[in-house]
Amino acid sequence: MSLENFDREIYDLTNSELKRQTNYLEMIASENFTYPEVLEVMGSILTNKYAEGYPGKRYYGGCEFVDEIETLAIERCKKLFNCNFANVQPNSGSQANQGVYGALLNPGDKILGMDLSHGGHLTHGAKVSSSGKMYESFFYGVELDGRINYDKVADIANIVKPKLIVCGASAYAREIDFAKFREIADSVGAYLFADVAHIAGLVVAGEHKSPFPHCDIVSSTTHKTLRGPRGGIIMTNDEVIAKKVNSSIFPGIQGGPLMHVIAAKAVGFKHNLSDEWKVYAKQVKANAKKLAEVLISRKYNLVSNGTDNHLVLMSFLDKEFSGKDADMALENSGITCNKNTVPGETRSPFITSGIRLGSPALTSRGMKEAEFEIIGNKIADILDDINNKDLQISVKNELKELASKFIIYDKAMY
């Protein structure tokens, strides 16, 4: 029986979400539109198969085909990141990071990561996350200019003497210098762990410096700039670390891997290995740069005054309206983004003084600099007159018209 006939509520809600994704301009920096082939295999019979263990060493029979699938995913992942070992089983980026810590740390060990309010991630030691509960976490941040000051990171590392340093961020618009982090880690004898979830799609295209060979271990999600299915991965060049990672993921924190998602990761990696991928990643950066240029020309402040990657952080510290106000005004105008804290933040994390805007999803729809110029100007128009509800309605209609020229999925997929 079809979903439409069996469960009309979920069918209708899924179609409503498809319409929302189609009609709105998706500018959440961590979101993307994955490929139809990825969706196809994720919705396949592979979901039926239990395969606890790793290829060739499973705890269940009947794994001959899923073994081949996981091996393909591993080999493609290694080729992409140019490394010797990959674990493609983490169900998410958070679980990948939990797996990394489980492999290298004991409860109570010290870790040093980027402060959540400065652009870090929950799993980089935030006290509300298991990374901050199980380990003693310390933080570095960005300066008021929005950039990491590597000398300060070195000073903090020298005082804290962490066992592991995390580099990588969720809201940092500038290139991360993995070589400098390596020097800092070496100066205190710490492991260096890069979480490249946000920038992985750029890294594998050569559009951002690679964390290898500088980092001992690297994690990522597969759905952000990589544009694959939701999920996590862990990579390393060190055989001892690789073995520890495998045990840390299974049986450490996960049971049966999601074989339909692992197959989808393999399909996503095949896209990432193609020549077209390099064109896409270059365009993601070019589009973010154009957006930054337009917003600056319209007299808006950007954290770090620009971008080297796929995202732009707008700061409203000098404005009467907040990040939350801007987020709502843009949502009313057909643009989806998220409020974000900024360096020197004066408002609460629920209100904030900034928004984060990303280019990956709209680039996947085929938009280029010309469209980002239009969108940047529309964002500025809305923010210039933030209480003008009529303007928000008319911009929403204009942007819906623009969106309709860039189809995401050319047939109903459900």
Looking at the Cβ atoms of 170 and 359, the one nearer to ligand DSN is: 170
Pairing of strands 110-114, 136-140: parallel
Window 153 to 192, contacts with ligand DSN (CB under 6 A): 170
Quote the least distance from Cβ 56 to ligand DSN, whole Å: 32
Q: Which is nearer to ligand DSN, 53 or 93 (CB)?
A: 93
Residue closer to ligand DSN (CB basis): 271 or 356: 356
By C-beta, is 172 or 178 nearer to ligand DSN? 172
Instruction: Report, in Å, the least distance between residue 150 CB and ligand DSN.
Output: 23
Catalytic residues: 50, 52, 195, 221, 224, 230
Instruction: Please write down the long-range contacts of 270-279, taking CB distance under 8 Å and 24 or more positions apart.
Output: 270/76, 271/35, 271/227, 271/228, 272/76, 272/80, 272/201, 272/204, 272/205, 272/226, 272/227, 272/228, 273/76, 273/79, 273/80, 277/201, 277/204, 277/205, 278/205, 278/206, 278/207
Looking at 24, 30, 51, 289, which residue binds ligand DSN (CB under 6 A)? 30
Q: Which residue sits closest to ligand DSN, CB atoms considered?
A: 30
Which one among 93, 113, 211, 228 touches ligand DSN, defined by CB under 6 A? Answer: 93
181 is in an annotated binding site: no
CB of 170 to ligand DSN, least distance (A): 4
Q: Is 36 annotated as a binding residue?
A: no
- With contacts defined by CB under 6 A, how many residues of the chain interact with ligand DSN? 4
**153-159 long-range contacts, CB within 8 A, separation 24+:** 153/112, 153/181, 153/184, 154/183, 154/184, 154/187, 156/112, 157/112, 157/184, 157/185, 157/187, 157/188, 157/190, 158/187, 158/188
Strands in 217-221's sheet, in edge-to-edge order, are: 85-87, 232-236, 217-221, 191-195, 164-167, 110-114, 136-140
Q: Nearest distance from residue 29's CB to ligand DSN, in Å?
A: 6
Question: Shortest approach of ligand DSN to residue 121 CB, angstroms?
Answer: 6
Per 3-state DSSP, what percentage of the chain is helix, strand, and coil (rounded to 5)? 50, 15, 40
Is 219 near ligand DSN (CB under 6 A)?
no
Nearer to ligand DSN, 121 or 290 (CB): 121
Angle, vertex CA 67, rays to CA 48 and CA 228, nearest 5: 70
Pick between residue 129 and residue 236 the one whose CB is nearest to ligand DSN: 129
175 among the known binding-site residues? no
DSSP category for residue 60:
S
Question: Is 44 annotated for ligand binding?
Answer: no
x-marked contacts with ligand DSN along 115-144 as a string, rule CB under 6 A = ------x-----------------------
Closest CA to 202 of 182, 164, 172: 172
147 DSSP 8-state letter: S
User: Is 350 annotated as contributing to ligand binding?
Assistant: yes
118 annotated to bind ligand: no
**Nearest residue to 337 (alpha-carbon basis) of 356, 311, 309, 324:** 356
Q: Residues at the annotated binding site for (6S)-5,6,7,8-tetrahydrofolate?
A: 116, 120-122, 239, 348-350
Q: Residues at the annotated binding site?
A: 116, 120-122, 239, 348-350
Q: Which residues bind ligand DSN (CB under 6 A)?
A: 30, 93, 121, 170
